Chains A and B, each alone.
Chain A
Amino acid sequence: MKPAEPVHGFAVLLPYRLVPTRMSVRISPLSAAIICFCAIMAVSTAWAQTTPTMLSPLQIILKWSPLLLRGFAFNILISLLAMLLGTVAGLGLGLALLSEFRPLASVSWLVTQFFRNAPWLVLLFFVMFLVPFQITIFKTTIPLPDWVKATVGFALPVMANVAEVVRGAVRSVPSTQWEAAESLSFTRRQMMWLIILPQCIKRMLPPWMNIYALVAMATVLASIVGVSEMLTLTAQVHAAEGGRPELFAPLYGFALLCFFLYCYPINLWTARLERRFRIR
């Protein structure tokens, strides 16, 4: 901070701001992750070079990366679909929570609490094993592959969490907004959709993105129930390469890096939005 020029001879206490001291070398989490990954690579490459006939871990990752990245794309697809499904259902559930019709509000409250407080993996197991592999409606058989069921399994906790976000955001709108709308003879539905919810979107966006980042990371749970997503494929690649112990860190490190590179910007953006909305 540049000290202000004294314009007169009096000693005055100039207003000042505390400037936080900065680390001389600032390492962003992103570069830290890349450095770690490179270090793992280097170590295992050095190890691999002791046995010259075998491919180095880097070469193995390169060889399998099309498959692994396709698996990762599948994770993202599942997370996006689960988020879409969960958001639509969560919006409905959130509005039901706010309903003036008491029984509906109570039932929705129970549903919300149940799915918010259940481990995601348990919900996933329930959906996987209780939903049949195909359903027949009007003589048409619709197959329900594992990944579709997994998507539904992830959508359930998303729904409950989104419902809570919606409820909280609507409650945070001052009651005077409702009164003003009431005095202009809007119906309750119009108030909700035209006046209250549009004001909530800003408030809902950061927590909603937060939920998404969690869902994206949770999709690897689907490997436990046999969906061919990235983690399943990584394990298979590891086995195909003879299960060499020195490949463990690079292969799974690659999976970690993929998720990190995907989720970190989302969280960064969420934090930025939160900061921006707080000032307003």
Chain B
Amino acid sequence: MAASWTPDQPIVQCVDVRKSFGALEVLKGISLSVKKGEVICIIGPSGSGKSTLIRCINALQPISSGSIQIEGIEVTAPKLDKLALRRKVGMVFQQYNLFPHKTALQNVMMAPIHVLRQNRAEVEVRARALLAKVRLAGKEDSYPGELSGGQQQRVAIARSLAMRPDIMLFDEVTAALDPETVKEVLVTIRELAEDGMTCLLVTHEMNFAREVADHVYFTDRGVIVEHGPPETLFTAAKDERTQRFLSQVL
């Protein structure tokens, strides 16, 4: 299966994904695809299953039925090589989840050194460059506890990028931030997108989705209600639920 995948096919292909927690069905048949270089935003009210979907794509949670393929690798395969899958997929969390006992630089360097077994000196050069790229030059030796939320989130982005993923997943990465630091994180993500990184974002930042996304999905109660290019979805939503949601948040 992995052998049959070619770069012109979607990097992420979800087909009729269903996920239940006990009797509660959170995802009720989600299908979407992300092509290389695309920026996809998933929007929708809280509890609509957005975050669950993104966590399923990274195999942090198993799905109940359906299929998710990352570059042709089936996430539901019983003999899935999770480590190989996760090397292709970078993930950034709402609560940053940096390792508190390591400095910013060490946070970025850890995975390439220990997981990819790359040369320490080379990794350090790249890690410093990545921190500079997210505008954190000079903060290399700070511990997460000494950094602001926005700075921590940018370290987390650099940490994921250090693994050279093919796609980045962002799970409401600005939701826990102070309004004034939201912007610096969004700027970083926008620059990433402009560099051609494939991104899948779950977000509440409508303006950001509108400006940066190639395609926007609106989800509600576990289903995709409507999707399309941002200009269409934000100005001419067809479904009543989408219209109601957008009128509340815009």
Is there contact, CB below 8 Å, between A179 and B97? yes
Contacts of B91 in A (CB 8 A): 183
B87 vs chain A, min Cβ distance (A): 5
List 14 A–B pairs whose Cβ atoms lie within 8 Å, in order of A's numbering: A179-B60, A179-B97, A181-B99, A182-B60, A182-B86, A183-B89, A183-B160, A184-B115, A184-B163, A185-B84, A185-B86, A185-B115, A194-B114, A199-B99
Chain A interface main SS type: helix
A180 within 8 A of B: yes
> CB within 8 Å of A: which of B72-108?
82-84, 86-87, 89-91, 93, 95, 97-101
Contacts of A186 in B (CB 8 A): 111, 114-115
Give complex CA distance A190, B160 in Å: 17
B43 within 8 A of A: no
A sample of 12 more A-B contacts (CB under 8 A), given A180-B98, A199-B99, is A179-B93, A180-B93, A182-B86, A184-B110, A184-B115, A184-B159, A185-B86, A186-B111, A186-B115, A187-B115, A190-B115, A194-B114
Report how many residues on chain A are interfacial, defined by Cβ distance under 8 Å: 16
Is there contact, CB below 8 Å, between B101 and A184? no
Contact with A along B48-90 (1 / 0, CB 8 A): 0000000000101000000000000000000000111011011
Give complex CA distance A198, B100 in Å: 10
B212 vs chain A, min Cβ distance (A): 22
Chain B interface main SS type: mixed
Contact with B along A159-184 (1 / 0, CB 8 A): 00000000000000000110111111
Q: Which residues of B does A touch, CB under 8 Å? A: 58, 60, 82-84, 86-87, 89-91, 93, 95, 97-101, 110-111, 114-115, 156, 159-160, 163
Residue of B nearest to A183 (CB): B91
Residue of A nearest to B114 (CB): A190
B153 vs chain A, min Cβ distance (A): 12
Is there contact, CB below 8 Å, between A185 and B87? yes
B76 vs chain A, min Cβ distance (A): 17
Give complex CA distance A181, B97 in Å: 9
Contacts of B156 in A (CB 8 A): 180
Among A180, A184, A190, A194, max chain B CB count under 10 A is at: A184
